[in-house]
Every structure is written in structure tokens, then in C-alpha cells.
Amino acid sequence: MYQPLPRPFDSPRASPFPSPPPALVGLAPVPGHTAPGALARVAQRLNLSLADIDERMTVDEVLDELDLQAYLADVDNAPAGPPSARGGRR
């Protein structure tokens, strides 16, 4: 499992995560493992429907995709530095 970069100084999300649509299975977060809607992210990146994922992919392949996305998110978005490095604010 990919370990994302630590982001202690990133601005926290201001609003709560929305609840997934009740008819869709597997979008709830796995505590300590996957974020809410992770399965939908995989579907979005691979341009597949959720039914296609169930039909074609194994759990391992889904987890690989999640690792890849987390890695790319870290590559594209550097973690924020401490407040002192952003202009001396404390």
C-alpha cells in the first residue's frame, strides 16, 4: 500500500464529505485504508462504470489503481510548508 506524503500543514477540508448515493455499493471509506468514494475514483480514471469494475477487475487491481492515484496526487501537489516558511506567520 502506498504511503502518501505527510501533509501536516495543508489546509484541512472545511466541509464534511458527502454521503455516497445509497444505491451504490463500496463507496464508503475503509478506516485507515481508503478514502470515501475510492472505487468511484478508479472508475473515473479508467473510464469504466462501477459494474464494469466488478465484471473485469480484482480487488488487488483496484487497490493498485488507488495507490497509483495517491502517488500521482503527491507528485502533482506538493505538501504545504510550515506557516513560518510562507511569510513568517505563526
- Enumerate binding residues for other proteins (CB under 8 A): 1, 24-34, 38-39, 50, 53-60, 62-63
Q: What is the CA radius of gyration of the chain?
A: 16
Instruction: Answer yes or no: are the C-beta atoms of 42 and 35 closer than 8 Å.
Output: no
Taking the complex as a whole, the smallest distance from the CB of residue 7 to other proteins amounts, in Å, to: 18
Give CA–CA dist 88/81, Å, rounded.
Answer: 11
Taking the complex as a whole, the smallest distance from the CB of residue 48 to other proteins amounts, in Å, to: 11
Q: Which of 55/76 has CB closer to other proteins?
A: 55
Residues 6+ apart with CB under 8 A from 6: 79
Taking the complex as a whole, the smallest distance from the CB of residue 42 to other proteins amounts, in Å, to: 8
Q: Which of 60/87 has CB closer to other proteins?
A: 60
